[in-house]
Chain A
Amino acid sequence: MSDRILDMNDLSVAFRGNEVVHNVSFHIDRGETVSLVGESGSGKSVTALSVMQLLPYQYASHPGGSILVDGQEVVGAPEEYMLKIRGAQVGMVFQEPMTSLNPLHHIEKQIGEILYVHQGLGIREARERTLELLELVGLQRAEERLRAYPHELSGGQRQRVMIAMALANEPDLLIADEPTTALDVTIQAQILNLLNDLKQRLDMALLLITHDLSVVRKMSDRVCVMTDGNLVEQGVTAQIFSNPQHDYTKHLLAAEPSGDPVSAAPDAQVVMAANGVSVVFDLAKGLFASKRVLRAVDNVTIAIRQGQTLGIVGESGSGKTTLAMALLRLTASEGDIRLHDTSIQGLKSEALRPLRNKIQIVFQDPYGSLPPRLSVNQIIEAGLKIHEPEMTALQRRKAVVDALLEVGMDPDAQDRYPHEFSGGQRQRIAIARAIILRPEIIVLDEPTSALDVSIQAQIIDLLRDLQHRYQLAYLFISHDLKVVRALAHQLVVMKDGNIVEQGPSEQIFSSPKSWYTKALMTAAFDLETTDQNDID
Chain B
Amino acid sequence: MTDTTVTPPTDGYVRDDTLLPRWQMSPLTKRRWANFKANKRGYWSLWTIGTLVFLSLFAEFIANDKPLMLKYENEWYFPVLIAYPETEFGGVFETEAVYSSSAVKEMIRDGDGWMIWPLIPFSFDTIDLETEGAVPEAPSSRHWLGTDDVARDVTARIIYGFRLSVLFGISLTFFSAIIGITVGATQGYFGGLIDLFGQRLVEIWAGLPVLFLIIILTSLIEPNPVALLLLLLLFNWMALVAVVRAEFLRTRNFDYVNAAKALGEKDFTIMTRYVLPNAMVATLTYLPFLLNGSITTLTSLDFLGFGLPAGYPSLGELLAQGKANIQAPWLGLAGFFTLSIMLTLLVFVGEAVRDAFDPRRSAT
Residues from chain B with a CB closer than 8 A to the CB of A498 are none
Known: A411-B18, A414-B18, A455-B3. A356 touches B27 (CB 8 A): no
Chain A: minimal CB distance from B341 (Å): 36
Residues from chain A with a CB closer than 8 A to the CB of B254 are 368-369
Contact with A along B1-31 (1 / 0, CB 8 A): 1111111110010110011111010111000
Contact across chains for A386 and B263 when beta carbons are under 8 A apart: yes
- Contact partner of A359 (CB less than 8 A), chosen from B4, B21, B259, B262, is B262
* One of A283-291, A335-343, A371-379, A488-496 contacting the partner: A371-379
Known: A398-B19, A406-B8, A452-B1. A437 touches B263 (CB 8 A): yes
Chain B: minimal CB distance from A120 (Å): 40
Contact across chains for B19 and A401 when beta carbons are under 8 A apart: yes
Q: Which of B12, B22, B263, B277 has the most CB of A within 10 A?
A: B263
- Bound Cα distance from A373 to B274, whole angstroms: 8
Chain B: minimal CB distance from A137 (Å): 34
Residues from chain B with a CB closer than 8 A to the CB of A433 are 259, 263
Chain B: minimal CB distance from A262 (Å): 20
Contact across chains for A373 and B277 when beta carbons are under 8 A apart: yes
Residues from chain A with a CB closer than 8 A to the CB of B28 are 373, 417, 419
Tally of chain A residues near chain B (CB < 8 A): 60
Contact across chains for A369 and B263 when beta carbons are under 8 A apart: no
Residues from chain B with a CB closer than 8 A to the CB of A415 are 21-22, 24
- A104 CB-CB contact with B under 8 Å: no
- Bound Cα distance from A182 to B218, whole angstroms: 63
- B44 CB-CB contact with A under 8 Å: no
Chain A: minimal CB distance from B324 (Å): 53
- Contact partner of A405 (CB less than 8 A), chosen from B8, B21, B261, is B8
- Contact partner of B258 (CB less than 8 A), chosen from A361, A414, A455, is A361
Contact across chains for A408 and B7 when beta carbons are under 8 A apart: yes
Residues from chain B with a CB closer than 8 A to the CB of A41 are 1
Chain A: minimal CB distance from B363 (Å): 15
- B360 CB-CB contact with A under 8 Å: no
- A443's nearest neighbour on chain B, judged by CB, is B262
- A90 CB-CB contact with B under 8 Å: no
- B273's nearest neighbour on chain A, judged by CB, is A374
- Contact partner of B264 (CB less than 8 A), chosen from A228, A357, A393, A406, is A357
Contact across chains for B258 and A411 when beta carbons are under 8 A apart: no
Residues from chain B with a CB closer than 8 A to the CB of A458 are 3, 5
Known: A374-B273, A375-B26, A397-B21. A363 touches B14 (CB 8 A): no
Contact across chains for A409 and B5 when beta carbons are under 8 A apart: yes
- Bound Cα distance from A394 to B4, whole angstroms: 27
- A370 CB-CB contact with B under 8 Å: yes
- Contact partner of B27 (CB less than 8 A), chosen from A410, A417, A437, is A417
- Contact partner of A369 (CB less than 8 A), chosen from B2, B18, B259, B264, is B259
- A80 CB-CB contact with B under 8 Å: no
- A40 CB-CB contact with B under 8 Å: yes
- A325 CB-CB contact with B under 8 Å: yes
Contact across chains for B259 and A361 when beta carbons are under 8 A apart: yes
Residues from chain B with a CB closer than 8 A to the CB of A409 are 5-6
Contact across chains for B24 and A420 when beta carbons are under 8 A apart: no
- B83 CB-CB contact with A under 8 Å: no
- B23's nearest neighbour on chain A, judged by CB, is A415
Chain A: minimal CB distance from B258 (Å): 6
Residues from chain A with a CB closer than 8 A to the CB of B24 are 415
- Bound Cα distance from A375 to B273, whole angstroms: 12
Contact across chains for A356 and B1 when beta carbons are under 8 A apart: no
- Bound Cα distance from A388 to B277, whole angstroms: 25
- A454 CB-CB contact with B under 8 Å: yes
- Bound Cα distance from A496 to B329, whole angstroms: 79
- A422 CB-CB contact with B under 8 Å: yes
- Contact partner of B263 (CB less than 8 A), chosen from A39, A370, A383, is A383
Known: A401-B19, A414-B18. A386 touches B8 (CB 8 A): no
Contact across chains for B263 and A330 when beta carbons are under 8 A apart: no
- A366's nearest neighbour on chain B, judged by CB, is B255
- Bound Cα distance from A228 to B2, whole angstroms: 10
- B260 CB-CB contact with A under 8 Å: yes
Interface residues of A in 1-56 (CB under 8 A from B): 39-42
Residues from chain A with a CB closer than 8 A to the CB of B256 are 368-371
Chain B: minimal CB distance from A376 (Å): 12
- Bound Cα distance from A41 to B9, whole angstroms: 30
Q: Which of B2, B8, B20 has the most CB of A within 10 A?
A: B2
Contact across chains for B265 and A386 when beta carbons are under 8 A apart: yes
- Contact partner of B18 (CB less than 8 A), chosen from A325, A368, A401, A419, is A401
Residues from chain A with a CB closer than 8 A to the CB of B7 are 408
Interface residues of B in 235-254 (CB under 8 A from A): 254
Residues from chain B with a CB closer than 8 A to the CB of A228 are 1
Residues from chain A with a CB closer than 8 A to the CB of B6 are 408-410
- B182 CB-CB contact with A under 8 Å: no
Chain A: minimal CB distance from B28 (Å): 7
- A425 CB-CB contact with B under 8 Å: yes
- Contact partner of B260 (CB less than 8 A), chosen from A371, A394, A397, A405, is A371
Chain B: minimal CB distance from A37 (Å): 14
- Bound Cα distance from A370 to B21, whole angstroms: 20
Chain A: minimal CB distance from B274 (Å): 5
Chain A: minimal CB distance from B139 (Å): 53
Q: Which of B1, B20, B21, B278 has the most CB of A within 10 A?
A: B1
- Bound Cα distance from A100 to B278, whole angstroms: 29
Q: Which of A42, A371, A383 has the most CB of B within 10 A?
A: A371
Residues from chain A with a CB closer than 8 A to the CB of B19 are 394, 397-398, 401
Residues from chain B with a CB closer than 8 A to the CB of A531 are none
Residues from chain A with a CB closer than 8 A to the CB of B8 are 405-406, 408
- A437's nearest neighbour on chain B, judged by CB, is B263
Chain A: minimal CB distance from B333 (Å): 47
Chain B: minimal CB distance from A500 (Å): 27
- A361's nearest neighbour on chain B, judged by CB, is B262
Contact with A along B347-359 (1 / 0, CB 8 A): 0000000000000
A sample of 23 cross-chain residue pairs with beta-carbon separation below 8 angstroms, ordered by A number, consists of A39-B1, A228-B1, A330-B258, A330-B261, A356-B264, A360-B263, A361-B259, A364-B255, A368-B255, A369-B255, A375-B26, A377-B21, A382-B265, A383-B264, A387-B264, A397-B19, A401-B19, A405-B8, A405-B9, A408-B6, A414-B18, A415-B22, A417-B26
Binding site for A on B (CB under 8 A): 1-9, 12, 14-15, 18-22, 24, 26-28, 254-256, 258-265, 273-274, 277-278
| New A-B contacts (11) at CB < 8 Å, excluding given A370-B256, A382-B265, A433-B259 | A39-B1, A325-B258, A328-B261, A330-B262, A369-B255, A371-B277, A372-B278, A405-B12, A410-B6, A420-B27, A425-B3
Binding site for B on A (CB under 8 A): 39-42, 228, 325, 328, 330, 352-354, 356-357, 359-361, 363-365, 368-375, 377, 382-383, 386-387, 393-394, 397-398, 401, 405-406, 408-412, 414-415, 417, 419-420, 422, 424-425, 428, 430, 433, 437, 452, 454-455, 458
